[in-house]
Amino acid sequence: MTDTTISPNAQLTGNVLFYRQPEPLSPEMHGNLGVNPADKPWAFLSGTHVVPLTVTEFAAAALNYPVIFVGDQKQPAVVMGLRQGDNLFVDAQGDLRPDAYIPAFARRYPFVYANDEAQNRLILCVDRAAPFVAEGGAMPFFENGQPSAYTQQALEFCNSFEQERARTEGFVKLLTDLDLFETKEARFIPRNPDGTAGEPQRIAEYLAVSEDKLRALSPEKLAELRDNGALGQIYAHLVSLLGWDRLIAMTFQRAAQQAPQAGNA
């Protein structure tokens, strides 16, 4: 089992979405730092249109976004926009839509675990560049040289996230072993001036569970997926794919809102 710790001396590896200046959290380096309440705590999401997701979040996230699988590792993720760097759920002022689900991957920010491969452990880090991290912050990282209650809560949340991440890897492996994945496309069909359907336009290519492959499984295997909870997560993923239409509508809505501004520039 990998250890977790707070340490100023660690050889870290890997890069993580959102984090510009992650540093191993320690009283020596961050004893006077803390976090201030932010008016727009989710503004950092504005430049990201795809955010990783854990499997236990599928049902909640499916109410807002398409849940897809991306990359060689088939990482589950939510799609929050159709264009890179354009998050449809965070406006230009950094305000998050009040009905938007926030993935745990983002909720742990500005904290994150990083690998210290030399000692086979995880080190709690903080993004020193986070706008709400400041000297004398209202919620200090340390009190009397020890992790504060705020930092202890962050440790617990990051520990829980790591457990969910491992569970997600097991879920993806199960689907991979059953050969349930296929490549899908999200398409938009524009309307011609005369009202007829135009030429379909591909807006995204992604990995998803194949409904045909799922139906082809044996009753015994389907029962196994039902009993271990995987089948419910699969259905949540499949239902979420209806959300592509919502993203398309939101894209047109944002473009319409921005058009007068561009004309007045």
- Residues paired with 183 in a beta bridge: 207
Q: pTM (2 decimals)? A: 0.86
Q: Are 68 and 104 contacting, i.e. CB atoms less than 8 angstroms apart?
A: no
- Render pLDDT for 158-214 as a digit per residue (tens, 0 to 9): 999 999 999 999 999 999 999 999 999 998 777 777 667 677 788 899 999 999 999
Residue 88 in this model has a pLDDT that exceeds 50: yes
Closest CA to 167 of 57, 43, 24, 55: 55
| 91-147 pLDDT per residue, tens | 989 999 999 999 999 999 999 998 877 777 888 999 999 999 999 999 999 999 999
Burial of 198 (0-12, 13-18, 19+ CB in 10 A): exposed
- Nearest Cα residue to 80 out of 67, 99, 95: 67
Q: Report, in angstroms and rounded to the nearest whole number, the Rg of the chain calculated over CA atoms.
A: 21
The better pLDDT of the pair 62, 122 is held by: 62
Closest to 50 measured CA to CA, from 91, 99, 83: 83
What is the CB neighbour count within 10 angstroms for residue 112?
Answer: 23
Distance CA 229, CA 234 (A): 9
Q: Is the pLDDT of residue 225 over 80?
A: yes
Bin 104: left if φ > 0, else alpha if -120 < ψ < 50, else beta: alpha
Q: Count CB neighbours of 21 within 10 A.
A: 12
> What does DSSP say about strands 22-24 and 121-127: parallel, antiparallel, or unpaired?
antiparallel
- 222's CB contacts (< 8 A; 6+ apart) are 214, 231
